[in-house]
Chains A and B, each alone.
Chain A
């Protein structure tokens, strides 16, 4: 009959208690961290996946940040374009008045002065700088003053594009050559300048001739607003795409490397019970051994 020695009992008992301790420690760590996979060896495939998931999640954060910055820029540009439209509306009013024979030279001189102010407003807007000192409407030549008083454009036609969503990029601004002096279109500053000159010269015919150009310039600015609006729609659409993808990625991450609180605590309770049982059993066995020897 195989013999059971005391050393065998001690070895087996110690092994059971140590195994129970180890499982309890592992269950405690999972419950505390909420992670099923806290190191690569816990589940190498899930760990590998988590590297990619974390990279994608951080990409989405960056895209959102870029989208927020772009949106702020669009808001500013939209305000600028509205201001320019208001200026052109007032310029048209002054041109209509100025072409009316009932006004005299003195009236037209006053109108010319106001148009000069409108011109300065548009010039300031066209040459606006951001907080970094970049000229917003210069294209890539952000250190170059885009417009002179005559509306001659010194920037370029390039625009920045940034990624605001998965595989979705938008332009961050619109160049001055699409607003204030469009090739084949209208030179807004030149129109205001010549209107000012015509009013100052008391030339009603010349003033009247500016009306169509002002109308065309207003339409040109509206067109620029449409372009901005389209980009804004894309940014909004990207927000929805980002949110959906983020939810999907976080769900995947949760199922692969995280552990839900109920599951973690359930495992912890189980491990605690198993450990207590091992301790109790070990204590009972050792007590029995001791009693047996004492009786003998």
Chain B
């Protein structure tokens, strides 16, 4: 039997236990709105016989598989968001449906040819045609430049994000070391563990992250098995310029893994998809369109005769190849500011030009309905429509995938919250429990104290 002094010890341990319980509950309440905070639950046990109560452990409410699920869903959501965001300016550059779109500019050129067919000798009409042709060239150039600049900007963003990701890799490695030190000394490391989980979540958001837990230490891998953190050792990713494109590849130094960017998820994965696939496809389609337009118009125009009986003149500087046609498209210097050089006729000589001959202008008008694009399967407007549908479809799918990913992320977060989150009302009830128990224990101590005083006065 413990006696009165033993009873005081029981009271003392009780006060400490309930104070600690209230403190833990207060911490839970204070951190309830902190993203990634894991609730701590004090486990109280009664000690040996007549030993009172003690807090056996403070359990951190966390389940590894739920954490991994959130990391995975975060990576997918961010990947789709990043891609969706970048596809908006891309769509505006090449698939604008409005009055400033490429379709309107192309149609204006053919409207100009049509006016010239009705009035082939009118220099004002011819000058207008030149203006519309220049507008088309400028529009295509600007679209190509926009795509090129967007690709470069995304490349810069990738570099910046990689630097930030490496920072998180370093943070996780350091926290692995710190947690190991603290837990080896037998102390709780909940705060450090929460910090580490937040760093992993941030890394997942940026480039995707998978975590394996070994003896309390995180081994973090990205891109299907590329280890970037093992215990306290980080492996930083690096940028290396591609020898062909000049864009940045992501590599793991001192390995022979090669470019890794296509294996990454997270926002980086979305940016890489835009840089290396979406923009490249749009550039290729725009180049093909520019090439087909220039080639088709040149072919008809060169066969015609201008107001001075000259033949064989191209409208556009002939593109050497499909690649680069859009950015390199230019009007032939022979026709710039020279409306007489437009070949509206199909006959005539230098001595006897045919100013009233409009047959070649009619042929230029007819081009709009001929299959001169898409390998001979499409008109120019149909080719443009294909570009619009392709880019619009990519954006629509990205938006849809983002909506779906966001819903799944919300579900994953809710599942984790169920396991690890804080219900304030529940904590308030716990607080009341500890408060009541503390008050009762204090009363017990007071009674024991009275009893001791009585003994001492005997």
A2-B418, A51-B384, A163-B114 given; A134·B426 CB < 8 A = no
Contacts of B334 in A (CB 8 A): none
Least CB distance from A62 to B in Å reads 4
Contacts of B35 in A (CB 8 A): 7
Q: How far is the CA of A259 from the CA of B189 in the complex (A)?
A: 60
Contact of B97 among A47, A139, A293 (CB under 8 A): A47
Interface: A196 (CB within 8 A): no
Q: How far is the CA of A69 from the CA of B418 in the complex (A)?
A: 77
Least CB distance from B252 to A in Å reads 36
Contacts of B98 in A (CB 8 A): 38
Near B by CB (< 8 A), chain A positions 253-280 give 257
Number of interface residues of A (CB under 8 A): 58
Top 10 closest A-B pairs, CB basis? A40-B392, A5-B421, A142-B356, A41-B395, A44-B392, A48-B389, A296-B428, A51-B385, A140-B354, A140-B356
Asked whether A296 lies within 8 Å of B429 as measured between CB atoms, the reply is yes
Interface bits A1-34 vs B (CB < 8 Å: 1, else 0): 0111111101110010000000000000000000
Asked whether B426 lies within 8 Å of A3 as measured between CB atoms, the reply is yes
A51-B97, A138-B356, A162-B362 given; A296·B425 CB < 8 A = yes
Interface: B117 (CB within 8 A): yes
A sample of 22 inter-chain contacts (CB < 8 A) reads A2-B418, A3-B426, A11-B413, A11-B417, A39-B91, A40-B95, A41-B396, A51-B97, A54-B103, A59-B114, A62-B110, A140-B357, A141-B352, A141-B354, A142-B121, A158-B356, A161-B359, A162-B362, A163-B114, A163-B117, A163-B365, A257-B97
Contact of B421 among A3, A44, A134, A296 (CB under 8 A): A3
Contacts of A37 in B (CB 8 A): 97
Interface: A160 (CB within 8 A): yes
Q: How large is the interface on B (under 10, 10 to 19, 20 to 34, 35 or more residues)?
A: 35 or more
Q: How far is the CA of A69 from the CA of B87 in the complex (A)?
A: 45
Interface bits B383-405 vs A (CB < 8 Å: 1, else 0): 01110111111011001000000
Least CB distance from B411 to A in Å reads 10
Contact of B356 among A6, A62, A63, A160 (CB under 8 A): A160
Asked whether A70 lies within 8 Å of B118 as measured between CB atoms, the reply is yes
A5-B422, A6-B32, A69-B118 given; A48·B432 CB < 8 A = no
A47-B392, A48-B385, A69-B118 given; A140·B347 CB < 8 A = yes
Chain A residue with the shortest CB-CB distance to B35 = A7
Contacts of B118 in A (CB 8 A): 65-66, 69-70, 160, 162, 172
Asked whether B392 lies within 8 Å of A160 as measured between CB atoms, the reply is no
Contact of A134 among B121, B395, B413 (CB under 8 A): B121
Chain B residue with the shortest CB-CB distance to A40 = B392
Interface: B200 (CB within 8 A): no
Asked whether A6 lies within 8 Å of B424 as measured between CB atoms, the reply is yes
Taking beta carbons and an 8 Å cutoff, which residues of A are in contact with B? 2-8, 10-12, 15, 37-45, 47-52, 54-55, 58-59, 61-63, 65-66, 69-70, 132, 134, 138-143, 156, 158, 160-163, 169, 172, 257, 289, 292-293, 296
Asked whether A158 lies within 8 Å of B357 as measured between CB atoms, the reply is yes
Q: How far is the CA of A37 from the CA of B353 in the complex (A)?
A: 49
Q: How far is the CA of A296 from the CA of B355 in the complex (A)?
A: 95
Main secondary structure of the interface of B (DSSP, over half): helix
Asked whether B391 lies within 8 Å of A8 as measured between CB atoms, the reply is no
Contacts of A161 in B (CB 8 A): 358-359, 362
Interface: B145 (CB within 8 A): no
A3-B421, A140-B356, A160-B356 given; A40·B381 CB < 8 A = no
A40-B91, A51-B388 given; A66·B114 CB < 8 A = yes
Main secondary structure of the interface of A (DSSP, over half): helix
Q: Which of A44, A59, A143 counts the most B-chain CB atoms under 10 A from its CB?
A: A44
Interface: B414 (CB within 8 A): yes
Near A by CB (< 8 A), chain B positions 34-53 give 35
Q: How far is the CA of A169 from the CA of B98 in the complex (A)?
A: 31
Asked whether A58 lies within 8 Å of B422 as measured between CB atoms, the reply is no
Least CB distance from A115 to B in Å reads 32
Asked whether B91 lies within 8 Å of A5 as measured between CB atoms, the reply is no
Contacts of B392 in A (CB 8 A): 39-44, 47-48
Contact of B103 among A55, A59, A132, A140 (CB under 8 A): A55
Contacts of B27 in A (CB 8 A): none
Least CB distance from A126 to B in Å reads 16
Chain A residue with the shortest CB-CB distance to B420 = A5
Asked whether A38 lies within 8 Å of B32 as measured between CB atoms, the reply is no
Least CB distance from A41 to B in Å reads 4
Asked whether A69 lies within 8 Å of B119 as measured between CB atoms, the reply is yes
Contact of B423 among A5, A49, A65, A142 (CB under 8 A): A5
A37-B97, A44-B388, A162-B362 given; A59·B368 CB < 8 A = yes
Interface: B176 (CB within 8 A): no
Asked whether A7 lies within 8 Å of B114 as measured between CB atoms, the reply is no
Near A by CB (< 8 A), chain B positions 343-369 give 345, 347-348, 352-359, 362, 365, 368
